[in-house]
């Protein structure tokens, strides 16, 4: 495997915290990341990496995947990747896409392993989740803990419900700051997401996620008051009709105590009687 520090030296770059660039340089961590796919027998025929940097993780993914596509928004780094991995590109094993991962067209990948730019990690994760492919993604530790949190914990929130709607999510490893160059201000963590259909029905996913977002903006309020106070977010024209129709036990709860399935049932009721603006 290519030496991470050697790659940085050949690229002639330095990580830049102001640009959300922290290069993963710990060989042990880099070697472990692909194994989180192998543990679940994931299809590694076409791996997607978001934020290739200088290619240390790219190199590891090429060792386990038949084909790798890396998306890198930094022009200089994308050019370096094309130079450093010219043989792999020529062999059809690697494709480098220069551009913003939130805007470019993504390939038909089978799984993704990525050290995400933390500033846009949420947006990228929720672009990848609907693809229903296994994901091994690195986030800030606090963000990762919120993704996997259970109801009635302080970390549980909108992010927990939204993430767990798409997949079984598991925090598989915490990563110290020293594993990066330069070290970020916070510790990091790796989350593995295994796609699955939820054990509840959602008629309109866009409304469901918006409704969850709305209620968590009033997480200290009862569900009764949260429904009333957030119609401008949820888009309900008749929030009072939802309150009148909902079960009293649910209305007395707070968002942090509601399991995803309970949110789904309440969201369906809200669509049925609350006259949402999206129909």
Interval 22-51 mean pLDDT: 97
> What pLDDT score was predicted for residue 15?
84
Share of the chain above pLDDT 70, in %: 100
Interval 146-167 mean pLDDT: 97
The tens digit of pLDDT for each residue in 96-112 reads: 999 999 999 999 999 99
pLDDT at 182 over 80: yes
> What pLDDT score was predicted for residue 226?
98
pTM confidence score: 0.94
Cα separation, 275 vs 242, whole angstroms: 9
> What pLDDT score was predicted for residue 21?
84
Greatest mean pLDDT among 10-14, 199-203, 249-253 lies in: 249-253
Best CA proximity match to 113, nearest among 167, 57, 179 = 57
Interval 182-190 mean pLDDT: 94
> What pLDDT score was predicted for residue 50?
97
The tens digit of pLDDT for each residue in 123-134 reads: 999 999 999 999
> What pLDDT score was predicted for residue 278?
74
> What pLDDT score was predicted for residue 30?
98
pLDDT at 279 over 80: no
Interval 81-110 mean pLDDT: 97
Interval 207-236 mean pLDDT: 97
Mean pLDDT of the chain: 96
Give the DSSP letter string of the chain: ---HHHHHHHHT----GGGT--EE--HHHHHHTTHHHHTTT---SEEEEE--TTSHHHHHHHHH-SEEEEEE--HHHHHHHHHHTHHHHHTTSEEEEES-TTTSPPP--SEEEEE--GGGHHHHHHHHGGG---EEEEEEHHHHHHHTPPTTSTT-SHHHHHHHHHEEEEEEEEE-GGGEESPPSS-EEEEEEEE---SS--S-HHHHHHHHHHHHTTTTSBHHHHHHHTHHHH-BS-HHHHHHHS-HHHHTSBGGG--HHHHHHHHHHHHHHS-BTT-
> What pLDDT score was predicted for residue 128?
97
The tens digit of pLDDT for each residue in 42-76 reads: 999 999 999 999 999 999 999 999 999 999 999 99
């Amino acid at each position: 495997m290519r030496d991470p520090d050697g790659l940085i030296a050949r690229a002639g770059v330095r990580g830049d915290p102001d640009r959300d660039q922290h290069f993963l340089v710990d060989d042990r961590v880099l070697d472990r990341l692909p194994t989180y796919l192998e543990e679940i027998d994931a299809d590694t025929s076409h791996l997607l990496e978001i934020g290739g940097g200088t290619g240390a993780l790219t190199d590891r993914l090429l060792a386990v995947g038949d084909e790798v596509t890396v998306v890198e928004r930094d022009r200089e780094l994308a050019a370096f990747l094309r130079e450093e991995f010219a043989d792999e590109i020529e062999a059809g094993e690697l494709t480098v896409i220069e551009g913003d991962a939130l805007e470019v067209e993504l390939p038909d990948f089978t799984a993704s392993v990525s050290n995400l730019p933390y500033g846009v990690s949420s947006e990228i994760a929720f672009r990848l989740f609907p693809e229903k492919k296994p994901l091994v993604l690195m986030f800030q530790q606090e963000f990762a803990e919120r993704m996997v949190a259970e109801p009635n914990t302080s970390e549980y929130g909108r992010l927990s419900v939204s993430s767990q709607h798409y997949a079984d999510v598991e925090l598989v490893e915490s990563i110290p700051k020293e594993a990066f160059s330069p070290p970020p201000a916070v510790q990091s963590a790796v989350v593995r997401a295994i796609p699955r259909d939820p054990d509840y029905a959602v008629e309109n996913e866009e409304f469901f996620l918006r409704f969850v977002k709305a209620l968590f903006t009033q997480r200290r309020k009862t569900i009764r008051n949260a429904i009333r106070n957030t119609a401008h977010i949820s888009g309900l024209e008749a929030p009072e009709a939802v309150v009148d129709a909902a079960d009293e036990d649910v209305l007395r709860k707070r968002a942090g105590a509601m399991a995803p399935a309970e949110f789904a049932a309440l969201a369906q009721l809200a669509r049925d009687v609350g006259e949402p603006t999206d129909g």
